[in-house]
């Protein structure tokens, strides 16, 4: 069971006219015909901008538009806000993020600053991650060996990413990764991108912003995101089915509950939802957009949450544990989440997709079996309850993260281009460096809102700097240092 969404609709009447029914549309048109032309101009829009989707990007866009004192409505297909960010508090009585949990690079993450004022507690994720080799933890020397190979793998992908043609990250991996290859493939592929490295563009991967640190929200990242939608004019359970832009200067957005006419639309539905044609564009999306969406279809990433008794993983909170594996049938564990007796096991990529397709029972069975392989048969007795997410089946999301497929490195910049200066895309996929993260989704939502408002003349274009900025002195290239601590951050560039 998922925590019920807050009713964020309460103040919609203050901000926007109710959604129009066909009858009210006709009545409105008749009234407008009788009215003077100024009134017609004023009445021909229901809102300035309509935002489609109340996930992180949609929330950011709506907040930016309201901050500029323009009116906006958020149309959300699901019966809750947050999209791929949702905290479940009911199942085990403690917060569990079903989707995003890591707030990467908190010092520059746009969401981090909201936690304190919202009364939520953000704390640093511990830097020390562990590797399980058989039924013991890796020793310092083994970890160093792993780290050296991880750096080598990242360097191979970065070199390929700078090359002329795009290749898959799988192809870009150096030949010599020893017996760490499968572990590295899991950490950089399914665990980071939700796809196997063979299915990820090396150019896209190498543009990924460094994720050098992270924070956790004690009450859940989904809780924070939902708080940010408080007071926004959201219409829940209102799936957009069609977006029409034939008439100059206006966008008509159709839903089963009626239509909205706006000056511009910001579309934040996931790339898989759009690639599947769940929203009909009229006129059709140009080919380069459909190609881009196809390259950015979401990978698979699911979470099995286990309620435990005792501390089979040891006493430390938020321990991130990987397995030294020799196959793709592996996972990542976050143990003792926020000090609770909860463990989150993440499965992803091709293997994760196949397993998730078999249902929650199969997922939980795999995870318990896999953990007993790492911690001994007694662990089975420590598992009280389990449940699993199935993001590929969520009809308004259809997956996890938009790592570009090989050859698809062009796709993000295509989606940044507005269509007819009326439709802007936003969402995690529409950010060239922070794709796949809540920070990237937030940034893209704000960026789309600003671009739309600038186009409509609601805000001024940023002024050119009076003096040319001083050229930054070239920094010497950082050499990958040998780690002295037995810890690593898997995403470090
Ligand atoms: C299991 C999992 C773990 C993750 N872990 C992390 C992490 O630790 N850290 C991190 O930074 N990121 C993580 N991510 C990625 C992160 O969740 C996403 O990047 C981010 O939440 C995407 O936000 P968004 O607004 O772009 O899209 P979404 O969250 O998909 O929001 C789009 C919204 O549009 C709505 N919608 C769809 N179709 C329609 C329609 N026709 N009409 C109206 N509304 C519609 C959807 O219901 C949804 O609410 C994870 C994702 C998953 C699935």
3-state secondary structure the chain: CCCCCCCCCCCHHHHCCCCECHHHHHHHHHHHHHCCHHHHHHHCCCEEEEEECCCHHHHHHHHHHHHCCCCEEEECCCCCCCCCCCEECCCCCCCEECCCCCEECCCCCCCHHHHCCCCCCEEECCCCEEEEECCEECCHHHHHHHHHHHHHHHHHHHHHHHCCCCCEHHHHCCCCCHHHHHHHHHHHCHHHHCCCHHHCEHHHHHCCCCCCCEEEECCCHHHHHHHHCCCCCEECCCCCCEEECCCCCCEEEEECCEEEEEEEEEECCCHHHHHCCCCEEECCCCHHHHHHHHHCCCCCEEEEEEEECCCCCCCCCCEEEEECCCCCCCCEEEECHHHCCEEEEEEEHHHHHHHHHCCHHHHHHHHHHHHHHHHCCCHHHHEEEEEECCHHHCCCCCCCCCCCCCCCCCHHHHHHCCECCCEEECCHHHCCCCCCCHHHHHHHHHHHHHHHHHHCCCCCCCCCCCCCCCCCCCCCCCCCCCCCCCCCCCCCC
Mutate which of 83, 97, 352 for ligand 1? The one with the most ligand atoms within 8 Å of its CB, which is: 83
Closest atom, ligand 1, to C-alpha of 303 = 1
Does 485 score more than 80 pLDDT? no
Tell me the average pLDDT across 101-124: 96
Q: Tell if the pTM clears 0.75, that is, is over it.
A: yes
Domain 12-85+219-297+399-455 CATH (choose: 3.40.50.970, 3.50.50.60, 1.10.3720.10, 3.90.330.10): 3.50.50.60
Distance 53 CA to ligand 1 centre (A): 9
**Pick from 23-37, 318-332, 394-408, 415-429: least confident:** 23-37
Residue 487 above 60 pLDDT?
no
Domain boundaries, the chain: 12-85+219-297+399-455, 129-206+299-393
Pocket test for ligand 1, best of 105, 213, 251, 269 (most atoms within 8 A of CB): 269
pLDDT of 493 over the 50 cut: no
pLDDT of amino acid 482: 34
Ligand 1, atom 14: nearest CA belongs to which residue? 100
Distance in angstroms between the alpha carbons of the first and the last residue of the chain:
38
Atom of ligand 1 nearest to the CA of 84: 29
pLDDT number for residue 212: 81
For ligand 1, what atom is nearest to the CA of residue 444?
26
- Using CA positions, which residue lies closest to atom 53 of ligand 1? 400
Q: Which of 2, 80, 96, 100 to mutate to test the pocket of ligand 1 (most atoms within 8 A of CB)?
A: 100
As for ligand 1, residues whose beta carbon falls within 6 Å of it are 52-58, 75-78, 83-85, 99-102, 104, 239-240, 268-270, 273, 278-279, 301, 303, 391, 396-397, 400-401, 427-428, 436-438, 441
CA-nearest residue, atom 13 of ligand 1: 100
Q: What is the atom index within ligand 1 of the atom nearest the CA of 59?
A: 25
164-168, 179-183, 359-363, 473-477: least confident range: 473-477
Dump pLDDT digits (tens) for 398-414.
Answer: 999 999 999 998 999 99
Structure token pair of residue 239: 């799936």
Q: What is the pLDDT of residue 464?
A: 67
Q: How confident is the model over 458-481, as pLDDT tens digits?
A: 999 876 666 655 655 555 454 433
Ligand 1 centroid from CA 468, angstroms: 39
Residue 244 has pLDDT above 70, yes or no: yes
Atom of ligand 1 nearest to the CA of 302: 1
**Can you give the pLDDT at residue 104?**
96
CATH top-level class for 129-206+299-393? alpha beta
Q: Ligand 1 centre from 269 Cα, in Å? A: 8
Look at 120-124, 312-316, 451-455 and tell me which has the smallest mean pLDDT.
312-316
């Amino acid at each position: 069971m998922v925590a019920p969404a807050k009713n964020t609709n309460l103040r919609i009447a203050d901000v926007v006219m109710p959604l129009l029914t066909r009858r009210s549309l006709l009545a409105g048109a008749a009234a407008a015909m009788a009215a003077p032309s100024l009134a017609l101009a004023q009445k021909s829009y229901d809102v300035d901008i309509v935002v489609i989707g109340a996930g992180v990007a949609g929330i950011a866009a709506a907040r930016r538009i309201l901050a500029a004192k323009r009116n906006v409505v958020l149309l959300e297909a699901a019966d809750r806000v947050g999209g791929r960010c949702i905290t479940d508090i009911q199942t085990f009585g403690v917060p569990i993020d079903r989707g995003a949990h890591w707030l990467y690079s908190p010092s520059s993450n746009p969401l981090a600053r909201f936690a304190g004022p919202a009364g939520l507690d953000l704390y640093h994720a511990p830097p020390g991650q562990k590797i399980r080799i058989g039924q013991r933890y890796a020793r310092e020397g083994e970890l160093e060996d792993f780290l050296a190979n991880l750096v080598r793998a990242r360097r191979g992908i970065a070199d390929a990413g700078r090359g002329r043609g795009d290749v898959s990250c799988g192809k870009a991996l150096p030949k010599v990764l020893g017996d760490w290859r499968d572990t590295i493939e899991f950490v950089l592929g399914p665990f980071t991108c939700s796809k196997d490295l063979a299915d990820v563009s090396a150019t896209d991967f190498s543009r990924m912003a460094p994720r050098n640190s992270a924070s956790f929200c004690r009450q859940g990242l989904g809780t924070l995101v939902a708080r940010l939608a408080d007071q926004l004019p959201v219409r829940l359970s209102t799936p957009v089915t069609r977006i029409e832009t034939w008439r100059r200067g206006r966008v008509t957005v159709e839903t089963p509950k009626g239509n909205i006419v706006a000056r511009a639309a910001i579309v934040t539905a996931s790339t898989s939802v759009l690639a599947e044609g769940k929203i009909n564009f009229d006129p059709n999306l140009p080919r380069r957009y459909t190609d881009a969406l196809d390259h950015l279809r979401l990978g698979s990433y699911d979470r099995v949450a286990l309620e435990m008794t005792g501390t089979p993983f040891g006493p430390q909170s938020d321990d991130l544990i990987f397995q030294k594996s020799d196959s793709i049938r592996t996972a990542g564990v976050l143990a003792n989440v926020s000090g609770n007796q909860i463990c989150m096991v993440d499965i992803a990529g091709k293997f994760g997709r196949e397993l998730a397709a078999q249902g929650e029972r199969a997922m939980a069975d795999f995870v318990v079996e896999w953990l007993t392989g790492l911690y001994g048969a007694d662990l089975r007795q420590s598992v009280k309850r389990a449940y699993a997410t199935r993001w590929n089946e969520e009809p308004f999301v259809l997956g996890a993260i938009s790592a570009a497929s090989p050859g698809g490195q062009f796709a993000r910049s295509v989606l940044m281009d507005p269509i007819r200066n009326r439709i802007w895309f936003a969402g995690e996929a529409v950010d060239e460096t922070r794709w796949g993260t809540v920070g990237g989704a937030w940034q893209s939502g704000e960026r789309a809102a600003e671009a739309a408002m600038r186009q409509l003349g609601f805000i001024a274009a940023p002024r050119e700097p009076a003096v040319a900025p001083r050229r930054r002195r070239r920094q010497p290239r950082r050499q990958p240092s040998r780690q002295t601590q037995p810890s690593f951050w898997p995403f470090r560039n």
